[in-house]
Structure 1
C-alpha cells in the first residue's frame, strides 16, 4: 500500500516517515530561492524545516524560482505534490525518511515580471541560490566575466533579464525605487568565498546598465559568505522506486542524502534572518577557515579519488574507498600535501575532520557515483586541487601527490579507462581537454597550456617535472601500478 505525496496524504506518509509538526498554512514567505534542486532541498530547506518544527520563524518560508529548463521540470513535479519533498537521510547502518514543507510555491520559470515582483515584495528579506559552481559566470581565477553573452544581454535589456543575476539587479532596483530595504543575497553554492563571488556577479551585471546603481548595491546590499556541506547524489528512477518500496511513499522527485550536514554562515544580513543557530547553523564573523577546510580536504578529496577510480572502472564512491590502493592514496595525499597547508580552524581537529570524511565516503547507502565526482573538472580542479598545489609550491614543499592528481585528470581525458572502455565526459571544456590529453601522452606539457585552468601552477619547474613523470608512468604502467609507486615513494625522479 502506497500513498502519493501531498498535503492531504501527510497522515498516511506519517506511518513510515517523519512529517512536519507545523501547519503549512501557517507559513508566510520570507525567502526567494533560485535553484530548488536536490542539494537545496537536503540542506537549506532542511534547516528551515527543523526551525519551523520548533514553532519558530514561520514568516521565513521559501518561494522557489529558476531560469533553466530543468527548473521548469522541477516546478512541475513539485507542484503536483504541493511542493513537499521526501528526504531520506542515510548513514552506513540506517535510513530514515522525512517529509519537508518549508517551500510554499515555485514561481513560473523564466517569467521575469513575476519573479521581479516577488523580489520587490517587502516580505522577501533574503534571496538565496543554489545554481552550481558553473552558474556564476566566472573564470578559473574566480573573476566575474561581464562579457559572457547572457550577461551582456541582461546589460543591454535590464528590464527583461534572463539570468539570476539580472533578475536580482532588477529586484533590488525596484525595491530602491519604492524605498524598501534591500534583501540579503545569500549563495549556498560550493564556491570559495561564495558571497564575494555573488557580489561580483550582481554588481558586475548592474554596472553594464547603471554604474551608479552598481555602486549603490556594493555599498548597501549584504552578500554573506557561507560554507555548505552535505553529500547529495542525483535522483533517478532508482531512488523513486526505493522510496516507494521501502517507505510506501510516491514522490515525483525525492532526495537521498547522507545523515551529516553542515552550514557555516557569516552573520551579515541587511533585513533580518531566521534563527538558524537554533537548528545547528554556525554563525561566524569570517567563514574563511571553515571554507578552506572543507574545500581543500573534502572537495579536494573528491577530486583526488574521482579519476583513478574512473580509470579503474569503479562506479560507486564507496567502492573506490574500499579499494586499498585508492584509500591509501587519498590518505597519503591528505596527510602529506593537503592538511598541512590548511590554516587552523576554531575548535576543530583537521585530522578528525578527515577521519569523518573517510567515514562519509565509505557510506554504501548514499550510492554516490564516480561520474558525478569526475564531472566539471575544468571548474572544480582550479577551485579544489590547484590552490593546494600552489600553496605547497609557494612554501617550498614538494607536490608529488597533487601533481599526480592533475596527471590522473589528464589521463582520464584521453577518453578510455585502463581496460579500454570509453569514458563519457561531462565538462563544458571536454573537447579541448580531450585533444590536449591525447597530445600529452607524448608531450605532457600540452595539457598544462590552459592558463585559465592551471594559472601560476603550470609555470613551476617542479610541478611540471612531477606532472610529466606521473603522466609518463600512468601511460606506461597503468593506474594501479602508478598509485603503488606513489605509496612506495618511488614515483618522483
Structure 2
C-alpha cells in the first residue's frame, strides 16, 4: 500500500481557539466528544479546539502516536440506522495539542491560565473521581479532583478571581452525579488545603460542574481490519477509532443553560440533550437499555447465544424483549408515550448492529446487583401501579437464578460469597425454598416479596419450568401464554 502520512502538512485544516482542555486521550472521548466538537466546528455552531492532557500526567503510547499525527485521526462508525446497516467515517481535526504535563508543566499552565479556556472535559474512568487527602502546595497531586483543585486555584490567582474566568466542567465518567461529585471533592480539597474562602466562593459561583450521561459503544482500534481501513481511508492512520453510529449525550444540573448556550452541540444536529437534571433521563436509559441487556442475557446464554446480535437473531428472544419493554418498562416511565417509543426504538435498534460483537458473557458480569438496580424498579413500580406482577421481569429473574445455579455450565463472575450462598441453598426438589432463601439473603438490599407479593411463588414456577423443560421450551411456553397481554 502506498499511503499518505496523516498530519497537518498532508491535510489542510482550520484552526480555532483552544477553549477546551480535555483530561483523557482514550478511544471513547476521541470517538464521542472530540468527534462532536469537530462536527460542530464545521457547521459553525462552535469555534473551539481541544488541548488533550493525560489524566495521570504520564506519557502514553496513544499520546505519542496522536502527537506524531498532529492530533489528526479518523472515526469509523458502523451500525444500524432506520433499520438498515450503515457506515460512515470522519477525519477529526479538533485536537490542537496533546501532551503530558509532566513533560511540559509550563505548557500546561499556559492552557489552564489562558483567557480563551472555558471548558474542561474528562474521562478518568470510574475510579478517577475519588477523594483522597492531598497536599495543595506544589504540583504533585495524585488524584484527578486534586489536580483540578490545583488547576482552578492557579486560574483564580491569575485572573484575580474574575467571575467570567470560571470554567465549565463536562465529566464523562460513568458514575452517577459525576460533575457534582467532582465539585464536592474540589471544595473539600480547597477547604482542607487552606486555599481560602474567596477561592471557595469563586468555585461555587463562577464554575459550573454539569452531570452528564454518555452513551456510544466504542470498540477502539481495529487491529483485525486495520490494513483494509487504511486503504479505504487513504491515509496511514495509526489512531483510527471504531464505534457504533448511535450516540447520545445528556447534560444537566445547575448551570446547564449556560453550557447549552456556550457549547450548543444540539444545534449541530448531534444527539445532545440539555436538561435541568439528568436523573430521569438516566433512569429511562437504565431501565430500557441496561434493563433489557440484563434481562436478556441469562435467557440468551441458556439458548447458546454468544453476542447481543446472536440473541436478537433468535425470534423468541427478540419477541420477548420487545414485548417486555412495550408492556412493562415504558408504561412505568413518566414521559409522553410517543417520545418514549422513539427513544426506545433507537435504543433497541442497536441490538441489531452486525458490526459490534457485544459479548453476552461480558454483560453478565455482576448480574445479581445489576438486576436489582436495573430491572427490579420496573417490577416494583408495575405492581404498585397495577396491583399485578410484571411477568416478563420475573421470568428474567428466574432465568438469572437458573444461569447462576449449579449444573448450568456457566461460570458466573460475581461476588464470591453470593455465588457460594446460591450453591448452598439450591434444591432441585424444592425451587420455592431455593428462591426464598436467595431472595431473603443478604445478596439483595430490597425485600422483593414485601413490595411484590407473590414474587417468590412466580419466580419459583418459572425457574422450575426453565430447569425441567429447558430454556427453549420454557421461553416458547411463556411467550404463548402471554400473547394477549
Quote the offset at 1:271 in angstroms.
11
Aligned length: 458
Contact 1:292 1:343 in 2 (8 A): no
Find the partner of 1:368 among 358, 365, 384.
358
Gap change, CA 1:263 and 1:422, over 3 Å in 2: closer
Show the counterpart of 1:88. Answer: 76
Quote the offset at 1:85 in angstroms.
2.5
User: What do residues 37-96 of structure 1 show as CA deviations (whole Å, max 9, x unaligned)?
Assistant: 333222211210112223554334242432398x93432443343332311122443322
| TM-score for the superposition, normalised by structure 1 | 0.76
Comparing 332-341 and 358-367, the one that deviates more = 358-367
SS at match of 2:287: helix
User: What do residues 130-152 of structure 1 show as CA deviations (whole Å, max 9, x unaligned)?
Assistant: 345x3366xxxxxxxxxxxx633
Show the counterpart of 1:230. Answer: 216
Within 1, Cα distance between the matches of 2:264 and 2:211?
A: 17
Show the counterpart of 1:99. Answer: 91
Contact 2:57 2:100 in 1 (8 A): no
Within 2, Cα distance between the matches of 1:220 and 1:73?
A: 36
Within 2, Cα distance between the matches of 1:453 and 1:73?
A: 42
Show the counterpart of 1:183. Answer: 167
Find the partner of 2:266 among 266, 277, 285.
277
Contact 1:182 1:271 in 2 (8 A): no
Show the counterpart of 2:382. Answer: 392
Comparing 461-470 and 291-300, the one that deviates more = 461-470
Does residue 314 of structure 1 match 2:305?
yes
Structure 1 residues 24-39: aligned runs within 5 Å: 26-39=15-28
Gap change, CA 1:422 and 1:456, over 3 Å in 2: closer
Find the partner of 2:333 among 332, 342, 345.
342
Within 1, Cα distance between the matches of 2:396 and 2:91?
A: 40
Gap change, CA 1:292 and 1:406, over 3 Å in 2: same
Contact 1:61 1:103 in 2 (8 A): yes
Provide structure 2 residue ranges, at least 5 long, that are not aligned to the other structure.
428-433
Within 1, Cα distance between the matches of 2:475 and 2:6?
A: 50
Between structure 1 and structure 2, the one with the greater Rg is 2
Gap change, CA 1:322 and 1:47, over 3 Å in 2: same
Contact 1:125 1:271 in 2 (8 A): no
Contact 2:308 2:359 in 1 (8 A): yes
Within 2, Cα distance between the matches of 1:447 and 1:103?
A: 52
* Cα RMSD, aligned residues only: 4.0
Find the partner of 1:251 among 237, 245, 256.
237
User: What do residues 167-226 of structure 1 show as CA deviations (whole Å, max 9, x unaligned)?
Assistant: 222222333344253311212345555444544554566566569676764454322233
Does residue 403 of structure 1 match 2:390?
no
Quote the offset at 1:330 in angstroms.
0.7
Provide structure 1 residue ranges, at least 5 long, that are not aligned to the other structure.
12-20, 138-149
Does residue 164 of structure 1 match 2:154?
no
Within 2, Cα distance between the matches of 1:192 and 1:367?
A: 27
| TM-score for the superposition, normalised by structure 2 | 0.77
SS at match of 2:21: strand
Gap change, CA 1:156 and 1:263, over 3 Å in 2: closer
Show the counterpart of 2:7. Answer: 7
SS at match of 1:135: coil
Gap change, CA 1:475 and 1:257, over 3 Å in 2: same
Contact 1:125 1:272 in 2 (8 A): no
